[in-house]
Structure 1
């Protein structure tokens, strides 16, 4: 027992305390058959008494694995990505794996820096929400045996890999059609930067809905850029001051929707107590659900970030378990959630 006092208890300490062979302790610790119930109970009691913990790091390294994966997302504080991250963690935990997470902030250089830092720590696999369009830097890592999967957006140039996205164009088409069905013909589109895959796909769905309704595409009704409050406020004021202003807004993600609601409230002045929504007289449908949307009565096109995280993690762990075959691309559906703001008729 002197070895136990010098440091962490070992399997030899447990074997001595339980009065069994080292192989018996190994079988109990690894849930292998061949140990009778009373002996297993004695081993478990010794483990509890000594505070023994299995060295999973050494165990996985002997198998050429580290039991860890890297997850690179846009922003860990974004509710969409927090839901995705939690789902990835849940799947990883079931697989006995740890997740290292980092935020790229939509910066391709930071994405690459995070990915290579995770690779330097010998993660077994990577899940990446791409910030850039060049992923050729991943080729040596993939050739070295690291599994890679992409979420929310497809990768740019570089190795092909499993990818899970949502039906961005279809969701935007549904949201725009919903506004058209309520009599709107001047529908503005406020979205993220056009360099982002999801933003351009949602713009495509918006344009397709207008075309199907026989309406022209008006670039003056489109405002795309970073989702910061000042930019959204400036664009919204420009839109509402047009000679023929929009009667409805389609907002391209949750951050844009929140920024738009704040901008509308700021433009309208103090919000009366008891108003059900801060959206004012303009109809709104937003892409992405967000926590206060139900309280504010905001109609949204809802994605499933938890489903996306679960799907991409399952694809990654299948690759880690040895599954081969061509890369898969999954496209998850969206759904319209009606709450009132998208059902207002034109003023």
Structure 2
């Protein structure tokens, strides 16, 4: 699930509303209607996502946490990081596992959470300062998906991008993200990337389409956001939650499917949008990766996977990535469960 903007207040700030306006006009005006997944997360959406993370079939959250619990020591040892930078930090829950491992090795003197939610940053920073005396906590309020800029802090730096958020980006967006990050990494810096791996599509679909309807309510919540922000008249009951596995692109899509022909008005935008019966509005993609494919994307950006950890089911992975050296990296082809380098 993606990093979210700070939309917990009843109404968006002017800059965020302008950003949402651009996304709505682009996405709802496209032949295949879509909206960026970050707009799913107002206070209600964030609460619904917390419920999703504890559903029996939602494997990404517990799988990544289990990996961090078992591998944080090896990650700390391999990275030697003095500063941990976390993109989309939220409550910084999983970062504590990394901080504990780094500080146990007299590392981890600074933590830089990067998020677009000022309230989440403030709360997490206060809590971490209290929990870790002597730790420098320097929060950065920014949308790294739009403008990634690493702070000039003490290195080596380890950039953590967890939660499978990398898979919410389209391939072109992933390429831009990796190239931009590579241009700012020093030779001793690294990237810790949480990545959902290819598996039985039935397992993937179950994680995004629970029988209790929580995921459907989460997906529909974007319509509530549009109604609130732009005086809209979306009828949530007129849309069904639908999940599609795209085997060609190797990603899951969450969609809202119109139950009948209808026209929705967003009065605040002066916009009327017509949906045909059965027409879909895509609210999220979540790409799943084969190790070779992930290594190729990383390599194309001038980076290389040095180590890849997976949990016993091979459902999820943590990749430690570094700037590529002059030597050929084509031979670096990590396999499931294998450490490389």
- TM-score scaled to structure 2, two decimals? 0.34
Higher helix share: 1
**Greater radius of gyration (CA):** 1
